[in-house]
Amino acid sequence: MSVRLHVLCGGRLRSDKGLFTPGRDEGVRETAPVACFLIRHPQAVALFDTGCHPEVATDPFTRWGGLAKAFRPEFTPEETVVPELGRLGLGPDDVDLVLCSHLHMDHCGANAFFRRATCVVHARELATARDPGSEGKGYFHADWDHPMPWRPVEGEQDVFGDGRVVLVPAPGHTPGTMMAAVSLDRTGTVLLASDAVIVRENLDEDLVPRNTWDADVWHRSAAEIRRWQARGALVVFGHDARQWATLKKGPDAYD
């Protein structure tokens, strides 16, 4: 069995795009995708990010407070990761690993459903989420703090020991943001950048999003992503509506 990559919907959020592209799209309201990625590997089934919790679709302020104004949900509970997995014939207990790009509410919101999985996260990201001062600033205990095994990591991590799924640290957006480089037989390398690069303009025009933890660190990670791109990797950005429209989704996998 070869490695296969499925792009799944984890919700949609409407916000001011100028938050991501300062000085370029101020005041432009845009609905952006929240993506999750299922990786079928001969050794295990892994999920890179779990998107938004389905309750956010119907009661966002209870889970997110005031952030639900800045990031307005525009999806139904059926447009989240668990129903998406169901369309592939899978349930939460079929997932062995949850690979967390970072622990913001729109990337780990459905972690609680994967009770059998081990959560892999960068050690600095887990420490940041556990800091009481982080609560409500993109981090919510209700999203990430669940009784499931954690595997904190540092540096690059070859998840299966064969170079097919490699977690690559890319801090800047948060202290412990990680990407996943997925090596596929026919497609080549797909770099799941998550919010290391939120939209294509960040990379192409060197625009640093306003919701960036450290701009200098962000620039170094962006340079690393450009090196991956120069080597032929398909870079999938965190919340790029235009790119999303071009991607294969659901059962139509990359292999």
Strand partners, 135: 139
Predicted confidence (pLDDT) per residue in 203-245, tens digit: 999 999 999 999 999 999 999 999 999 999 999 999 999 999 9
Distance CA 71, CA 112 (A): 21
Query: How high is the pLDDT of residue 32?
Result: 97
Predicted TM-score (pTM) of this structure: 0.97
Query: How high is the pLDDT of residue 25?
Result: 86
Collect the ranges in the chain with pLDDT lower than 50: none
Closest CA to 229 of 166, 158, 181: 181
Query: How high is the pLDDT of residue 26?
Result: 86
